[in-house]
Amino acid sequence: MQQLEITRDFIEQVEQAIERKDSEFILSTMGDMHPADITTVLYELDANESKYVMDLLPPEIGAEILSDLDYDIREDFLDYFTSAEIARYINLMHSDDAVDILNEQSVQTREEVIALIENEEKAKDILDLLHYEEDCAGGLMAKELIKVNLNWRVRQCIEEIRRQAEDVSRIYTVYVVDNRDILVGRVSVKALLLSRDDKLVKDIYSEDVISIESFRDENEVVTVMQKYDLEAIPVVNIQGRLLGRITIDDVVDVMQEQAELSRQLMTGISENVEEDDSVFRISRSRLPWLIIGMVGGLLAAHFMGFFENDIAILPALALFVPLITATGGNVGIQSSSIIIQTLSSNAVMFENFAQRIFKMILVALLNALIISILVFCFTYLFRNDFTLSLVVSLALFSVVMLASLMGTVTPMVLDKFGINPAVAAGPFITTANDLLGLTIYFGVAHLLYSL
C-alpha cells in the first residue's frame, strides 16, 4: 500500500474534492493508502465528509478503518450510517471488533445489524461475545482461531487449517482440543508440515499451552501476555473449553488505555476525557482534585499563620518556603511514580518489602545529601548567614527523606485497601508534603535560632 505524508495541503485538497463530488480524485489518492493513514485523514474531516469517503472505498478497507477509529468518534460517526451499511462492514470484521462496535449502538440498531449479518456462524459468534463485559477476557477475545482435534491425522488437520484460515488473518498457533472441545495443548504449523500425513496429532502436539479464563479482568490478560511474551492467548471457560483467543493488538489497546488513565489520574483528572469532549465534562473531570489542591493550599497558608511571629522576627525564612514545598512535592511524586509502575505491572511487592524500603532509604539519603549540600553552599554564598544556610539545608534534607518515604508507602497502602494508587501521586501527596515540610522547616528554625 502507498505510504503518504498527511499534510494540511493534502487535507484541504480532499475537502475541496469532496465539496465538488470528485470521486475520481478521492479514489486515485486514497484508494491505495494504508487504512491507518486514511483514518488520520478522516479525523480532520466532519462526519458527512468522512462518510462520503467511506462510501467510495472498498468495504474491506472501510471495515479496517472503523475498527481503528477512536470509540467516541466512531460512535458519533456511525449515526450517519443505516443498519444495513453498518452490517456490510461488520460482515468483514473479526468478531471482537464487531462486538466493540455493536456495544456502542442502541439496542434497536444492534438487533437490526445482527439480523442483517450474512454469515450465520459469525452472527452466532457475535451473540456469544455480547454476553461478556468489555473489560474482561471474554470481552477482549475473538472467536476466530485455528483448532484441531487430538485424534485427527495430520492430513485432516491441514485441510481444516485451510478451511478455518479464511476467517483468521493471523495464525499464531494451532490449538488442540479433545472430543469435548477442552483445550489440551497446541501444535506448531511447522510440526504439522514436517510430519507424515497419517500421523496422529496426539503424537506430535505439545501440552505446554498457557490459557486464561473468560471471566478474568483485562489487566490480568495484559500481565500474563507480558510475562510470557505471548502474541496470542487462548481463552477458556471454567471447565477448560476453548472459547476464543486474544491477540496482541487487543492487548496493546488495553495497555494504551491503562497508560492514558494512569497519566490522567496522576495529573488530577478523575475520569477519561478527550480534547474534543464537552466543556462541562472536561471541567467536571478536573475539578475534584483542583478543589482538593485548593483546600490543601488554604491549609498550608493557614498553617503558616502559626509561624507568623517567627517570620516577623526573621523575614528571610519566608524566602525559602517555596523551595521546601516544591522539593517535597517533586520527590514524593517521583517516588510514588516508581511504585505505581510496579503495582500496575502486578509485580510482587510485599515479599521483598524490607529490601525495597532499604533501597528507597539509600536513594533518598543520597539525593538528600547532594541537594542539601548544594542548597547550603548557594545560600551561604549569597546570604552570608551560616545559621540560615544550615536551617534550610537541614530542613531540606529531612523533607526529601520524609517525602521519599511517603511517596513509597502511600501507593502501597492505597493499593492494599483497593484504592487506585495512581491518585496518590497527585495533590494528595503534594498537599501532605507541604504541611509536613513546613512543620520540619520551622521546627529546625526554632531549634537553631531559639525563636
Residue with more model confidence, 262 or 402: 402
- Grade residue 21 by pLDDT with cuts at 50, 70 and 90: very high
What local confidence, expressed as pLDDT, does residue 199 receive?
Answer: 92
Give burial (CB, 10 Å; 0-12/13-18/19+) of 355.
Answer: exposed
The mean pLDDT value for 101-118 works out to 91
The mean pLDDT value for 45-60 works out to 91
Quote the mean pLDDT of the chain: 84
Which one of 1.20.1440.120, 1.25.60.10, 1.20.120.850, 3.40.50.800 gives the CATH number of domain 8-133? 1.25.60.10
Q: What are the start-end ranges of the H helices in 305-352? A: 308-313, 316-319, 321-344
- Grade residue 234 by pLDDT with cuts at 50, 70 and 90: very high
What local confidence, expressed as pLDDT, does residue 447 receive?
Answer: 81
> Around Cβ 235, how many Cβ atoms within 10 Å?
27
Q: 182: helix, coil or strand?
A: strand
Fold annotation for 279-449: Tetracycline Repressor; domain 2 (1.10.357)
Window from 143-152, 166-175, 398-407, 426-435 with minimum mean pLDDT:
426-435
The mean pLDDT value for 197-209 works out to 92
The x, y and z cell numbers of residue 316, run together, are 528571610
User: Which residue's C-alpha cell is 485455528?
Assistant: 146
Residue with more model confidence, 285 or 73: 73
Pick the closest to residue 212 from 228, 198, 197 (CA basis): 228
Model pTM? Answer: 0.66
What local confidence, expressed as pLDDT, does residue 282 receive?
Answer: 66
What local confidence, expressed as pLDDT, does residue 114 receive?
Answer: 92
Window from 218-227, 355-364, 438-447 with minimum mean pLDDT:
355-364
- Distance CA(195)–CA(188), nearest Å, equals 11
Q: Over the Cα atoms of the chain, what is R_g?
A: 30
The x, y and z cell numbers of residue 423, run together, are 491518585
**In this prediction, what percent of the chain has a pLDDT beyond 90?**
33
Fold annotation for 147-247: CBS-domain (3.10.580)
Where in the chain are the domains?
8-133, 147-247, 279-449
What local confidence, expressed as pLDDT, does residue 384 receive?
Answer: 87
Window from 47-56, 236-245, 266-275 with minimum mean pLDDT:
266-275
* Beta partners for residue 232, in sequence order: 247
What local confidence, expressed as pLDDT, does residue 333 receive?
Answer: 77
